[in-house]
Amino acid sequence: MDEFIDFGYYAGSFLSNDGDWLQQSIGAWKFIRETSEYVLGLSKQWVYDSKHGGSVCRFDPCPTFSLSRIETECENKISFEVEMARNDGLSDPLTGQAYLIPWAHHDDQHGESESNKPVFVKIPENKIDINFLESGETQTIVFDLPSSDSMLTQLNLKNYEENGQAIKQQLEYVALIIESNGLLDTASSTLSDENGSKRPLYDGIPTSFDRQASIVLTVWRVE
């Protein structure tokens, strides 16, 4: 299913004719130049169509990448491998930046730790560049584990309201954020259980109206 005719657009997402969630999108109206072009892509051109009351865009093929965690013998570090997955020659090379932030947690009804979105996180200044990966090329990215002091959690707020002080939370989870010109190929990636299964086949939130740009967030447990 590679052509526009094989897809439908519904409630902000592309769905296959079989109902599979393929990718997120934004705007009310979506067009591509020819029906033979791949719909998988991020917009490079947007205009506002007052007649139809929505945004009109032209899609261009974008890179896709797979992601997996790799072992490291260094303490207080975590490593990942990014691979340019798209191999049809229709897209530009994969470029972008990656960075790591702390992620909150809470105990469920059984006392087991679960990841949980923090209230506030300080974005690190040091980011790792993803350097023009062609099809099949990989890049290893290694991070120092961030400090939990750089985030504010619901538990911090609760303790402050009840006791007048914020209690430091142990770092159990981190979030890897990749800002790039592509989308995450979830079928080709090895993601942690913390990421769940409710992701489109090609994941990424579009972040620009006039260039290919998306943000992908994945959560990982510190072990």
pLDDT tens digits, 192-209: 888 776 788 889 888 876
How far is Cα 204 from Cα 183, in angstroms, rounded to an integer? 5
Identify the domain boundary among 33, 61, 89: 61
Residues 120 and 95 occupy one common structural domain: yes
- For residue 52, the 8-state DSSP code is T
Tally of structural domains, the chain? 2
Residues 74 and 171 occupy one common structural domain: yes
Residues 203 and 133 occupy one common structural domain: yes
Q: Is 209 left (phi over 0), alpha (psi -120 to 50) or beta?
A: alpha
Identify the domain boundary among 61, 87, 104: 61
DSSP lists the bridge partners of residue 99 as 177
Give me the pLDDT at residue 150, please.
83
pLDDT tens digits, 6-64: 556 566 666 666 777 777 765 544 444 433 333 445 555 555 555 544 545 566 778 99
CA 29 remoteness from chain centre: 23
Q: Decide: 85 and 64 in contact? Cβ < 8 Å.
A: yes
Residues 26 and 128 occupy one common structural domain: no
| Domain with 214 in it | 64-221
Give me the pLDDT at residue 207, please.
82
Q: Which residues of 103-140 are buried (b: 16+ CB within 10 A; e: fewer)?
A: bbbeeeeeeeeebbebeebeeeeebbebeebebeeebe
Structural tokens at position 213: 């740009």
Residues 23 and 81 occupy one common structural domain: no
Residues 141 and 74 occupy one common structural domain: yes
Secondary structure percentages of the chain, helix, strand, coil, to 5:
10, 50, 45
- Between 57 and 87, the higher pLDDT residue: 87
Residues 68 and 80 occupy one common structural domain: yes
How far is Cα 152 from Cα 197, in angstroms, rounded to an integer? 27
Give me the pLDDT at residue 153, please.
76
pTM over 0.85: no
Residues 52 and 146 occupy one common structural domain: no
Residues 70 and 52 occupy one common structural domain: no
- Between 55 and 222, the higher pLDDT residue: 222
Q: Decide: 92 and 181 in contact? Cβ < 8 Å.
A: yes
Residues 177 and 122 occupy one common structural domain: yes
Residues 25 and 117 occupy one common structural domain: no
CA 51 remoteness from chain centre: 33
Residues 28 and 94 occupy one common structural domain: no
Average pLDDT score, the chain:
77
